[in-house]
Amino acid sequence: MIEPDMATMLAFVFTDAAVDAGSLDRMWGRAVGDTFNCLSIDTDTSTSDTAVVLANGAAGPVPEASLGMALREVCLDLTLQLARDGEGATKLLTVSVRGARDGGQAHRVAKAIVNSPLVKTAVHGADPNWGRVAMAIGKCHEETDIDPEQVVIRFGEVQAYPALPSGGGLDALAAVMSADHVEIDVWLATGDAEATVYGCDLTDGYVRINADYTT
């Protein structure tokens, strides 16, 4: 139950850097936006959605760029742990959308892919079904500038659409899909923006966890 709004997640990060509240708030907002807010397990939400950073200043000032990078690294590590620990999950799923019109389009398309039950079950079954990825892109009906003939879909570094792999490419594709971390990369050809989101596969374990108890 994570996505939207970091549901059921409480995150507290502490630093001894000396930093003013305004700068810390900006850095934290960017870090959370690129990590926790790019995480989705099953699109459902709940009552708890908090991410807090606290700084005591004991170590003195540090370069803002360094602190911002450190905050993002911590948040990303926690985000990947959460994705791997999704209910019934056996695989981490990362979806990157590049060549988008803007960040919003990249984020929307990436979320449509990572949230698709058909994509998630294909990942669980190690099936390089590029058609399910294309279907998820097509569900973004408002993104009318996406030309299907210009879209490129890759699993890992192996292109699956429009050029279909053969021979050694099929073996490489099988290895990508059998790994415990599956990466899907999509090129939209509508601009220069990109976004990466994080999730997991959908398994029978998810059904059992959420069906075999009474509240």
CA distances from 54 to 15, 46, 51, 76, 156 (A): 6, 24, 10, 17, 37
Instruction: Determine the Cα–Cα distance for residues 102 and 97; give it in Å rounded to an integer.
Output: 11
Single out the catalytic residue among 8, 43, 90, 121.
8
Ordered DSSP codes for 167-194: THHHHHHHHHHHSSEEEEEEE--S-SEE
Whether the upstream peptide bond of residue 4 has omega within 30° of 0, thus cis, is yes
**144 is an active site residue:** no
The rounded distance, in Å, linking the Cα atoms of 35 and 48 is: 17
Quote the CA–CA distance of 90 and 203 in Å, as a whole number. 8
Distance, CA of 123 to CA of 137 (rounded, Å): 16
- Enzyme catalytic residues: 8
